[in-house]
Chain A
Amino acid sequence: MKPIPIKLRFLVFGILVAGIMIFAATLDGVCAEKHMYNAPPGGNYKKVSSLVALPDFIPGLGTLYVDPATLPAGPFLAYDKKGHLVSTVYMIPIKDINDHKEFKNLKVASGKVDHVDMYYNAGHPGVPEPHYHVILWHVSPEKAAELK
C-alpha cells in the first residue's frame, strides 16, 4: 500500500480540527441561547416591570427582560404570553445617535431573525428620552401582530 504523503496528512488533520472547532462553537452557541428561548431567561436578566414602572405585558412588544447593566441599549428579550421568545430589542437614544456613539457586540437571544423593525419612541420609564426601538423579530410578522 502506498503511504499517504505527509502534506496530505496535514491537510486532512487540519480539516478535522477545523470541523471539530466549528461544531464545538455551534454547539456552545446553541446551548448559550437555549436558556433564553423561554421566560424567564435567567442569568442577570430581570423582568423590566420589576425594575421600572411598566406593565408586565406591553402590547406590541410582549413581556420584557433585561440585564440592568446593559441599559439603555439592551438587549431586551421579549416573550409572548406563553413565555416563548419573540424578539430581541435594542433601545438607542436619539442623542447617542447624534453623538455618533458606537454600540458594538450587542448580544442576540437567537440566531434566527425573521425580520427587523425600527421605530421611534418618545420615551418610557427606564429610557425616559426619545429613542429608537430596533427589534430583531424571531417570529413572523403575523405572530408579532398577535402581541396584543
Chain B
Amino acid sequence: MNQRYTIGIDIGGTNTDAVFINQDGILLKSTKTTTTANVTEGFSAALQDVITGYPANSITHIKVGTTHATNALLQHNNLFTVGIIRIAGHNPQLPPYYNWPSSLKKTVFRGVSTIDGGFECSGQSITPFNPDQAIKAAQQLQTQGAESIALVGVFSPLNASQEELAAEAIKNSLGSSLSITCSAHVGGIGFIERENAAILNSALKKSLINGFQDLAQAAHSLGLTAARLSFVQNNGTIIDMHTACMYPLFTLSAGPTNSFIGGAKLAGLTEALVIDIGGTSTDVGLIKNGFPRRTLNSSTIANIPLNFPAPDVCSTALGGGTCIKIDNETPCLESKSVGNRLLIDSVSFGGSSLTLTDVALKAGLITIKNAEPDRVSLTKQQIDSLYAQIKNRLQELIEKMRGPEQNISIVLVGGGATLLPPNLIPNAITCPHANVANAYGAALAEISATVDTVVSLTQRDIILTELRNQALNLAVEQGAAASLVRVIEEKIIPYHYIPNNLARIIITAAGGQ
C-alpha cells in the first residue's frame, strides 16, 4: 500500500499544534506543544512528535498556518525599511503612513516619491507613465535608506500594467535582489488601504523569507524531503513556498480561519457556526460552503487599515485562563486572563487566581494531573450562575453571527471547549480532536486563486463567465486538481455615479491537490 500522509501545523501565539492525516482526511495523530521564542524549534518538536513511526518519504505535504507575520508586526523587528513610489500623476493630499502607530512608522518609513502615470476610472492614464521616473525615484529612495520599494498606482486594480512595468524597470536597473511589491497584487480598490498592504508586504519580506526557509530546513533535517511545504492564507487556502515569500502578507492571521474550517470539517459539515474557545479568548465564525464568511469592510492589522477581506470573527474575552472574581458571593467573569501561567496561577494549582479552568475542575467536567480542585471554594449555585453568564455571553455572539440562519449547526472547538458542561449550548456538537481543530483545518486546506478586479458589466454574463474561468484556471495553475476546483465565492459590488456599469468583482476558486 502506498499510503500518503499530510501534516497540518498551526503555529499560534501560545501553542504549536500538529495533526497527521492520511489521504482520506482521517486524523491519525496529533500533538500540542508550546510555541517557542524561536518558532522553528516548536515547529520541529511538533513535527518530530507526529511523524514518529511513519516512513518519512510517505509524507507528501506539510501545511502551515503561522504567526510569523503577526509577531514581526507586533515586535517591529526584522522589518525591511520601505520607500514608496506613488504612480499618480498628481500629489494625493494624504501622505503615506497616515495614522500608523508612530513606532512602526518610524521603523519602516524611508520616504515617498510621486511620479507620472496612474489611471482614471475610465481607463485613461492620468498623465503619461514613464518608467525612467520610477528608476530615478527608486534610486533616490535607496539613498534615503529604503531597503525595499512599494509601488502604488491610482486605479491599479483596474490596470496593473504601470506598476508591473515600473517594477521591471527598477529591477533591471538596480538589481533583481531589491524587494519590490506591486500594490495591485496585494490589495483591491481603496488607494490608502492598498498602499498600506503593499508597504507591510514589502516590510515583512525581510524576516519572513528567512523564517519560511528555516521551517523548510527543519522539515528537511527530519528527513521529510518528499514533503511539499505550503502556507495557509487568511482565507483558509494555501500558497506554495515561492508565493509565500513573494506575498508574506497573505499569511497574516490564518489562525481563526484554520480553527473554523477545521471545526466544521471535524464535524463533517460544510455549513456551520464554529465557536473556538482558547486560553484567553473565544472566536466565533461562520462557515459557508466550507469556507469562513468574510467581511468586506476594511480589516485592521496592528491598527493599520487594510482592504483585503478578513474572516468575519466575533470575539470575547473568555477562555480557560479567564479570571473570575467573587463579588458579594456572586461570581463574575473578568476580562483578564492568566494566559500561559494557567497551571501556576490557578487556585487548583496553588495559585491565587480563580480561573474558568478551576471552575471546570471543581464541577468535575475535566481532570488535570496535579490539580487539586478541593482548593476551589465555589458552591454549586455559584458554578451554575457562572455557566449561566457564559451561556448568555456565547448566545449573544451566536445570535450576532448567525443572523437569519437560525438552523445552522453549532460546533465547539479549541482547548477550552471541554470546560463547558455538555449541552450548555443546546445541540452544540463537540468532536474528538476539537482541541487541534486549527491544525486539522490547516491539514485540509485547499489551493485557491482570487480574481479581484473592476470591470464594466455592460456585457454581464460574458464578463462574469470569463472571470470565473480565470479564477478556476489560476487555481489549477497553482496546483489545484482540475477535477476538484470550483468557485467558492463570488461578490459583485456595483459602483454608482459612474458610466459603463463599473463594478468590483471578487471571485475565488479553490480545489484540493
A, B bound: no
